[in-house]
Amino acid sequence: MEESHVLRILLFFFAAAMMAQQVPCNRTPQLEAALRPMTKAIQGADARNAHRRAVAEDVLKAFPDDFLAHWAVIPDLKRPGVEERKATIERYEKYAAAHAGIQAQALLARALVDQDTPRAIQLFEQSAAQNQWAHLGLADIYWFGRFQDRNKSRAHLEAFFNTCPATTSSEAMSRLASGATPELARKLTPGLRSLAQSTPDVLAAAPVWRTVWSLEFKSRPPQEHNDVRKAVSADAARLEKLIDIQNPAQASLVLMGYQQAGDPMQEKRFGDRLLQEAPGSEVSAQVAMARFRKEHPFPQSSDSAEKKKEYYRVSLATANRILAARPDDTGALITWYSALAEMEDSDPAQLAQAADAVLALIRGGSLGMSPPFPLALARVFMKRKIQQERIRELIEEGRRQSPLMARVPSDRDSEEVRKMEAQSEQFIKIAYADALVDYAEFQGEASLARAAVQTAEAAAEKPDEQLRVLTMKGKLAEIDKQPLDALLLYRAALDLRPKEGAKPKPDKLSDAYERVFAALGGSEVARNLLAKGSRPKAESSTDGRWEQPSKAMAPWQLMDLQGKTWKLAQFEGKTLLINVWATWCGPCRSEHPHFQKLYEKLKDRTDVQVLSFNVDESIGKAEPYMKEGKYTFPVLLAGDYVQELLPLITIPQNWIVDAKSQWRWQQIGFGNADGWEEMMTAKLASVR
């Protein structure tokens, strides 16, 4: 045989072998159908994880040699903990040994993520030249956590889509929606829109549609967003004609389209249709609850008792209507319990039933609350003097819960995550002691809480934590019939309270101080001496939820909703107040009426600038939200910037930057609305 002929045969077989190693960009319809049971709604994390692992095993039996079958189920095989991760790694070590090649190597890398991520990176990088899914794995690893490198993440994301521009993978779409630069969005959006329009299966096309809508806003300047909204609304209208309205995933896609378009008339019309034609669906329940919250704002502490009572009455009726069609609806169950807990004349048996329903959600891993729900429930039972035999065990159950919910540590965890977990443990100790002090008061026995308060005192570092501990110690002194100790402890707690802003209503701490003071027969002379004798605290001791940032603020250059560019450098000489928010954030929505009032008061000042950073992934939602609320404060589109600055962020936040562009203060969460504007004004003045 001639050498050239032999060479041609060898090249043919080499090419055939290379083609055999090519990994498809999309799953087959048969594999999609086999994976679909994964999406079944299962109450409880343990039951849900077991169900998904069972489906994963069935899929692997049916598709033992399909790379994308393995790629799809590995995350579910690794749940819920370290032992499952180790077993999955061992499984794919054996698989890689039995199936030498790039594909098996990439699957082993996927199994290694979170347990041995450096080795996963090494294997993915070795595989990436011949397996585009390795690029997607690297894009995820480099996006957040200890190995974060956003430039690398975006480079690998682009490499994946260069090979798979027509993928319908929800994983790829999710990473693209959050990670695409405006340039990459402009490059990919036309092809993705064509792909979505040409995909007949609405469910298969759903991740593509969601990503297209997000990227079209990102790829075009804000002044063109109205044109984008018209196109998105037209997309939703076309999809509405194709969907089965009884299918929650399909109905949710159409509803999201109208919401993304900022088209309230079409959103309302479609919502009406859902409520009429699919009253028992999950999406209908979401619509009903969203309408209730919009039409009935949560009562303020300053509202009358009658107004609060009416709110909870309507809240209870709304929850009952939803539960009649969907007995296990999570949002309705929480609303049902909350209304019964707040209504002093509610039926105790019904309240206990609602509480048990919420507890079942928490114990099953479907729901987490901060502070832990059992602690709050114990207080409700004490206040109502019901279910007394359960109260102590509820408090102990609350101690065992974390407000972050149970999570398995990962070697990708950043210092921010570790810090948050440490703060979570600290928070639990203090919240547990606080609840136990209430129980000690309920039982008239201070010894029930003394050890817990000592533990909380050792954990308390921030001024607001120290204030809580001093208040607890004052209550214990009262229970122990040591009124002088109680008086001095309450006085010390009052001295630690933030000076800016209105006092809480009701002011339980001041009331306790006055009660003990009166019982001791205190005079005005004694009152003045106590006040004068209190030790003044440094600024950092009176700041409540204000913290000093742990890093510097990087310079920024961001566009607003009108397309105007704002730069940090332009505010040299001014004090900045920056509100960080998103349209989906409930506390942000509660804070914004107060933020708007503050903006109106300060907008003409030459020494202060009030503005906001919106961090919505779907940036098109910001403008309709502002119009709906009639808000006029400046909105800068800052999602990418904030993610780079603080990869792990809780919102809302308020940042104060001084006249030298130094980030001085960071406030997390929205607390008491009373005196909010005065507190913010005072805080701004303190840094000038």
- What are the residue ranges spanned by the domains of the chain? 22-164, 549-686
d(Cα 305, Cα 309) in Å, to the nearest integer?
6
Secondary structure string (H, E, C) spanning 458-483: HHCCCHHHHHHHHHHHHHHHHHCCCH
Residues in a beta bridge with 486: none
Q: What are phi and psi of 608, to 5 degrees?
A: -135, 145
Q: Is the torsion defined by CA of 180, 185, 191, 197 positive or negative?
A: positive
Helix 391-400 / helix 373-384 crossing angle, nearest 10 deg = 160
User: pTM for the complete prediction?
Assistant: 0.84
SS3 666: strand
Inter-CA distances, 670 with 92, 211, 674, Å = 46, 31, 11
**Do the beta carbons of residue 568 and residue 645 sit within 8 Å?**
no
Q: Which residues pair with 546 in a beta bridge?
A: 667
Q: Which pLDDT belongs to residue 184? A: 93
**CATH H-level superfamily of 549-686:** Glutaredoxin (3.40.30.10)
At residue 547, the pLDDT reads: 83
Q: What gap in Å lies between CA 621 and CA 260, rounded to an integer?
A: 6
In a 3-state reduction of DSSP, which class is residue 2?
coil
Burial class (CB in 10 A: 0-12, 13-18, 19+), 416: middle
| Separation between Cα atoms, residue 523 and residue 485, nearest integer Å | 17
Q: Closest by alpha carbon to 401, among 434, 436, 427?
A: 427
Residue 606 Cα distances to 568, 602, 632, 634, 663, angstroms: 16, 9, 18, 16, 19
Which spans in 497-608 are helix H? 508-519, 524-533, 586-602
Per-residue model confidence (pLDDT) at position 670: 83
* Helix or strand holding residue 577 (H, E): strand 575-581
Helices (H), 22-131: 29-35, 45-62, 67-77, 82-98, 102-112, 117-127
Q: What is the pLDDT of residue 7?
A: 42
pLDDT of residue 304: 86
CB burial of residue 4 (10 Å; 0-12, 13-18, 19+) = exposed
Q: How far, in Å, CA of 635 to CA of 188, rounded? A: 27
From residue 544, give the alpha-carbon distance in Å to each of 232, 369, 426, 466, 497. 44, 22, 16, 10, 7
What residues are paired with 326 via a beta bridge? none
CATH of domain 22-164: 1.25.40.10
Q: Which two tokens stand for residue 375?
A: 């602690």
Q: What letter does residue 126 receive in the DSSP assignment?
A: H
pLDDT value of position 206:
94
Q: Which residues of the chain have pLDDT under 50?
A: 1-3, 5-21, 405, 535-544
Provide the 8-state DSSP code for 571.
G
57 C-beta neighbours (distance < 10 Å), count: 12
The amino acid present at 254, given as its one-letter code, is V
At residue 236, φ and ψ (nearest 5 deg) are -60, -40
